[in-house]
Amino acid sequence: MEIGIDSFAARFSDGHGAEKNDTKAMAQLLERMEHADKVGLDIFGIGEHHRKDFLDSAPTMILAAAAARTKRMRLTSAVTVLSAADPVRVFQEFATLDLISQGRAEMVVGRGSFVDAYPLFGLSLNDYDELFAEKLDLLLKIRDNEFVTWQGKFRPALKNQPVYPRPQQSPFPIWLGVGGTPESFIRAGALGLPLMIAVIGGETHRFRPLVDLYREAGKRAGYTPEQLPVGLHSLGYVGETTEKAFEEFYPGYAEAMTRIGKERGWPPTTRAHFEAQAGPTGALLVGSPEDVAAKILRHGEALGGITRLTFMMDTAGLGHERLMKSIELIGTKVKPLVNK
């Protein structure tokens, strides 16, 4: 199993309430990415948001900077908000990243968990799914063809138009990032795209019927099980002990989830809710290396097998030092336990 980190480039510089410094926060993020590579993690993903809390509005810039400081780790988006982007430019940026990193780039495309990008780029939420479907179709055509002829509703047509540069990897890896809609799982299977599931709450095993839909759609489309890998993106944090991990993670997690909940109509996050989510079947991967490794294996079994797991720790305002230590524990303790 590939194990790695996803980051939204959160705007914090330490865990003690110090004033946020964007330059320092970006430097520390790159330090964490370099550290993740050194301790043996397989992948690092950068999200895409267009709001004050995060510095990841241009993820390929961050990934390219990391490519120069890492040697073996794969570098991906988590996710690219394809609905609000031009597929030609997206492909060109990631093809360039692939050349810079010598074949270590990937992308996970999706519609995003926030809607800020739509008004920012003059798009209508009424076209939410239609935009994504059309742009994904064009992106895949560009990936598979140097010269592209294509016509759609939201973008000018292309007539035998070449798109450069071409990436080192062929085909270039494109995963589909999904939340909880059956249509998204079926679409990924029908297209034969690897699936990355974001499970940030609830119980992971409840996603099994959706994963089964994905695999069945892929089978009907003629793809083998090996062509349909499943990855899991979860909120998590590894500490020296489970008790210590809970105490360090909970305050920032509760504050962040309560703040986001005000936008989405969720109730405030309580300690009881957190402990249920961090329990045996809940989505959160918070605890000691041994407890987290065991839970990853349970999640994998519940979903019928996964090939990739990424931790997302930015939401808890943990600060750079704690994140560095957690990344080290994931690389040196959790990953060996899982793969053993």
Tell me, what DSSP letter sits at residue 68? T
Q: What is the largest CA-CA distance in the chain?
A: 60
Query: Per DSSP, what are the bridge partners of residue 312?
Result: 6, 235
Of 91, 95, 88, 63, residue with least CA distance to 77: 63
Whether the model clears a pTM of 0.75, i.e. scores above it, the answer is yes
12 pLDDT higher than 90 = no
Q: DSSP strand E in 18-79: where?
A: 43-46, 74-77
In contact, 338 and 308? CB cutoff 8 Å: no
Question: Can you give the pLDDT at residue 13?
Answer: 46
Of 189, 196, 195, which is closest to residue 218 (Cα–Cα)?
189
Any idea of the CA torsion for 55, 277, 186, 57, to the nearest 10 degrees? 0
The CA-atom distances, in angstroms, between 110 and each of 50, 148, 207, 234, 336 are: 15, 22, 18, 16, 30
Per DSSP, the residues of 193-211 read --EEEEE-SSBGGGGHHHH
User: Is the pLDDT reported for residue 206 higher than 70?
Assistant: yes
- Which residues are within 8 A (CB) of 244 and not within 5 positions of it... i.e. 6 or more apart? none
**Quick one: pLDDT band at residue 261, thresholds 50, 70, 90?**
confident
Strands 285-287 and 230-238: parallel
- Cβ neighbourhood burial of 24 (10 Å; 0-12, 13-18, 19+): middle
Domains and CATH numbers, the chain: 2-328 (3.20.20.30)
192: buried, middle or exposed (CB in 10 Å: 19+, 13-18, 0-12)? middle
Mean pLDDT over residues 253-276, rounded?
Answer: 90
**Residue 229: which region, alpha, beta or left (left: phi > 0; alpha: psi -120 to 50)?**
beta
Q: How far is 287 from 85, CA to CA, in rounded Å?
A: 37
Dump pLDDT digits (tens) for 271-328. 999 999 999 999 999 999 999 999 999 999 999 999 999 999 987 789 999 999 999 9
Lowest mean pLDDT among 78-82, 166-170, 227-231, 313-317: 313-317
- Over residues 238-265, mean pLDDT: 92
Cα separation of 166 and 88, whole Å? Answer: 12
Higher pLDDT, residue 260 or 322:
322
- d(C-alpha 15, C-alpha 28), whole Å: 13
